[in-house]
A and B are shown apart, each in its own frame.
Chain A
C-alpha cells in the first residue's frame, strides 16, 4: 500500500516534534527512517499508526485521505505498528493474545485463529508455539507474534520502531527475511533504526529526519558517511581507541557464583583494574545480566567473595554496594531506572544523598541544568522523564550516576542512542575511567564491545569464557563464542574447561 503524509505537524509545548513533514512511500518499499535522538521519528510513526493525532497535516493511503483516530482504527485501515517493547499480554497464552481486540463473535474460535495464523507464519518462515505463555517467549519471538497478529488483522503497512535492540542476531536475520518477503508481496515497511548497517542491509530507500523536518531521502547504494552527515549536519567519526587501564586491582571477584530464575552462573574469578572497561558479550539471557546484578549486590551470590579495594562486599545488599561506590544502571529505562512522572530535577535530587530533611530545589535545578548540558540531553530541568525521546531517557539515566562512583555497572548503556551520542557517551565514560573508575557493561553490538572494552567476557548458558583481549579479538571470533562454539586453534580457551581463574589478566 502506498503511504503519503503531507505537512504533518505536531508539537509538545514549545517542542516541534514534527514540523511539516511530507513524505511519500511506494508500495513494496522498505523505508529506513533515520535521524538523531529526538528528531521526531517515533512521533511520526505514532501519528501514522493512530497512537497520537497530528496537530495538522494529512495522511493518504493509496491516495485516499484518512483520519486515524486510534491504533485500532489504523489497523482497520491497514496500518499496524510493532513497538520496541511489544504491546502484548505476558501472562496470557499466545492464542489469547492473538484474539484480544480481533473482531468476531461472542465465543472466539481459538482453533480457527490458530490455524489462520499458522498459515500466515509458514510461508514467512516463522514458527509459533500457540499454547505457550507470552511471558515465556523472548522479545524476538514476541515481535514475531505481534507481526503475525498485525498481518492476520490485515495490515498492509508495517511500522517498526527500533525493532532490533532487544533481539538476537539470528532473530534479526529472521525478521529481515520476513520483512523482505512481505515487501515482495507489496506491503510497505517503515523501519526506524539507529544502526546504519541494518538499514544498508535491509532498506530499499531511506528518509532522514532532523529537528522534526524531513532533511532528505536516499536510494541505494547508501553511503554511510553521507547518511551520517545528513543526520547530524556534520561528519561524525569515532575517536581513537582509548585505554586507561592500569595494573592495580579495584574490584576483585573470587569464585563468585550466582543464580537467578533459570540462569545459573558457574564460579568465576577475576580482578578488574582501575580505569579498565570490561565488556560482557553473549546472547540475551546467557547470564551476563545476572553477573552484572550480582556485581551490583542486587542478586545474592551463592558462593565466593566480592571485594572493592579493601572492603569485603560479599553478601551485602545493593544499598551497601552503592554506598561504597558501585553504581548500577539497568537496561529497562522506564521500569527500573527512571520514575515516570518526575522531572529531571527531581531525579537529580533523588540521587543526591545530602543530609537534611528539606529539598533544595534551586540547587537541584542548577545541577540538573548542568547535567543536561554535560550529557547533551534534549529537555529542560522540568521535563518529566517520560516526555523525553528514547535516546534522551538513556542519557538522563547515565547522567544520574554519581560522579564519585568507582565501579559502574551498565546494562546496555547505548541502547537506542544515535551514533553521535554513542561516541559522546563513551567519551564521557572514558573520562570517568581516566579518573580511576572501572566500567563493566553489556552490549549486543559486537563492534561496540570490541571498540570500547579492554577485556571481554563471553557468556554462554551461564558459563563465562575469557577474558579476551579486545585489541586482538575479531568480530568473527566473538560471534562464534557468543554462539557457544570454541574458536579452535586460537588457544584462547577450551570449551570443556572454561578459564575460571583470573590468571590471564596478569
Chain B
C-alpha cells in the first residue's frame, strides 16, 4: 500500500470511528455520574433508523440528527427515571430497553429498508486541508467528524479542568460526600445521563446518514456496536481522551480486517469481519490484568529491574471504576 492510500485509509478510520467515539464519550459521562446506561446498543439502532426515516421523508439532514439526539436522550431519561427515581436495577432497566429499542427499530424500519436517503457531505476546511499529511487526516471530513474531534477535547476539559467536572467525578465516586458538599447528586445524575444519552443517540445518524449511509434492517451491521461502546468506556477508564483512543483502536482493527482480507486468503472473510470484536474484548482483559492478584504474584517472582518496569506499565493501564457506578443514592 502506498503512502497516499494509507493516509486516506487512516483518515477513513478517524471518520468511521467517530460515531463510536461520540457514543463512548456520552456513555462515559453518564457512568462518571454513577449511572450505567446499558441501552446503548438499542439506542444506536433506533436512532439510526429513526433519523434515517426522518431524513428520507423530509429531506432534511439536520432534522435527522436532531431526532437521533432526542431518541438517545429519551431512552436515557427512561433509564435515569427507572434507576434514580424508581430505584430499579440499572442493569435490568437498561437491558430491557436495549432489547426493546432494537426490535422496535427493525419493526418500524421495515418501510424504509433499502431506501436511498441523503448523506452528509464532506467539507474540507479551507487552507488547513492543504497541510501535508494532517490536512488529509484531520481536515477533510464531514461536520460530525469534526464534532467528534471537538467533543473529545471539550469533554476532557470539562471533566478534568472545570469545577462542574470535579463535581461530576465526585458524585460518581462518593455521592454521600458530594452531597455533603452541596452537590445535587440526583439532579446531576439525571442531567449527565440524558446528555450522555443524547450523544449516544447522535451515533445513530452518524452511521445511517454518513458512515454507513442507509437503513438495511438486520443487515445494517450496527447491531453489537453498542456493546463495544460499553467495553471501550471501561478500556478508556472513563477518560474522554483514552476512550476516544479506544474507539480509534476499534476502528483501526475493523479497517485492518478489510484491507488485510486479500492477503489472508486462508481465513474466511466472516472471521475477519467479526475479529475486531473479540480483539477489543481481549485488549480490555489485557488492560485490566494489572488488577488481578495472581499477576502481582507472578510479578513478585521477576527480577527487580524488569518487575518495576512491567509493574509501572500495568499500573498506568489499570483502570479504576467510579466507585459508586450503578449504586443509587438516597439523601437522608
Contacts and interface: CB of A to CB of B under 8 A. Distances in A.
B179 interface: yes
Interface stretch (A85-93, A234-242, A352-360, A427-435): A85-93
A239 B161 CA distance: 59
Interface stretch (B166-174, B261-269, B277-285): B166-174
Interface string B165-186: 0110110011011111111000
A100 B170 contact: yes
B6 interface: no
Q: 9 smallest A-B Cβ distances: which pairs?
A: A101-B181, A72-B182, A87-B177, A71-B180, A100-B170, A108-B163, A89-B173, A101-B182, A87-B180
Given A70-B182, A71-B180, A100-B181, A92 B169 contact: yes
Contacts of A104: 163
Interface in B312-332: 320, 323, 332
Contacts of B166: 96, 99-100, 108
A104 B166 CA distance: 12
B163 A71 contact: no
A249 interface: no
B308 to A, nearest CB: 14
Interface string A40-73: 0000000000011000000000000000001111
Nearest to B183: A101
Contacts of A311: none
B167 to A, nearest CB: 6
Secondary structure of the A contact surface, majority rule: loop
A79 to B, nearest CB: 12
Nearest to A49: B180
Contacts of A100: 166-167, 170, 178, 181, 183
A107 B162 contact: yes
A34 B177 CA distance: 26
Contacts of A89: 169-170, 173-174, 177
Contacts of B169: 89, 92, 96
22 contacts: A71-B179, A71-B181, A71-B182, A72-B180, A73-B182, A87-B174, A87-B180, A88-B177, A89-B169, A91-B320, A92-B169, A92-B170, A100-B178, A100-B181, A100-B183, A101-B167, A102-B181, A106-B162, A106-B163, A106-B164, A108-B162, A108-B166
Nearest to B323: A91
Contact of A72 (B163, B181, B300): B181
A71 B183 CA distance: 10
Contacts of B332: 51-52
Interface string A263-274: 000000000000
Nearest to B331: A70
A107 B161 contact: yes
A73 B162 CA distance: 23
Given A89-B173, A91-B320, A100-B170, A107 B181 contact: no
A96 to B, nearest CB: 6
B162 A92 contact: no
A90 B177 CA distance: 11
Contacts of B183: 100-101
A85 to B, nearest CB: 10
Contacts of B179: 70-71
A91 B177 contact: no
A362 B150 CA distance: 63
Interface in A102-161: 102, 104-108
A92 to B, nearest CB: 7
Given A92-B173, A96-B166, A100-B181, 19 more contacts: A51-B180, A51-B332, A70-B179, A70-B182, A71-B179, A71-B182, A73-B182, A89-B169, A89-B173, A90-B173, A92-B170, A100-B167, A100-B178, A100-B183, A101-B167, A101-B178, A101-B181, A101-B183, A106-B164
Contacts of B161: 107
A91 B180 contact: no
Contacts of A108: 162-163, 166
A91 B239 CA distance: 14
Nearest to A72: B182
A397 to B, nearest CB: 22
Contacts of B173: 89-92
Interface in B191-227: none
A73 B331 CA distance: 14
A401 B167 CA distance: 41
B93 to A, nearest CB: 20
A99 B177 contact: no
Contacts of B323: 91
B180 A99 contact: no
B67 to A, nearest CB: 31
A394 to B, nearest CB: 21
Contacts of A96: 166, 169
Contacts of B182: 70-73, 101
Contacts of A51: 180, 332
A100 B183 CA distance: 9
A92 B300 CA distance: 28
A92 B182 CA distance: 18
B296 to A, nearest CB: 9
Contacts of B178: 100-101
A92 B161 CA distance: 13
Which of A52, A72, A102 gathers the greatest number of chain B CB atoms within 10 Å? A72
A368 to B, nearest CB: 25
A72 B181 CA distance: 5
A102 B166 CA distance: 10
Contacts of A72: 180-182
Nearest to A95: B166
Contacts of A52: 332
A51 B161 CA distance: 29
Contacts of A70: 179-180, 182
Contacts of A99: 163, 166
Interface string A471-502: 00000000000000000000000000000000
A90 B323 CA distance: 10
Nearest to B163: A108
A75 to B, nearest CB: 8
A102 B300 CA distance: 43
Contacts of A73: 182
Interface string A335-379: 000000000000000000000000000000000000000000000
A107 B161 CA distance: 6
Contacts of B174: 87-89
Contacts of A105: 163
A51 B300 CA distance: 46
Which of B174, B180, B182, B300 has the most C-beta atoms of chain A within 10 angstroms of its own C-beta?
A: B180
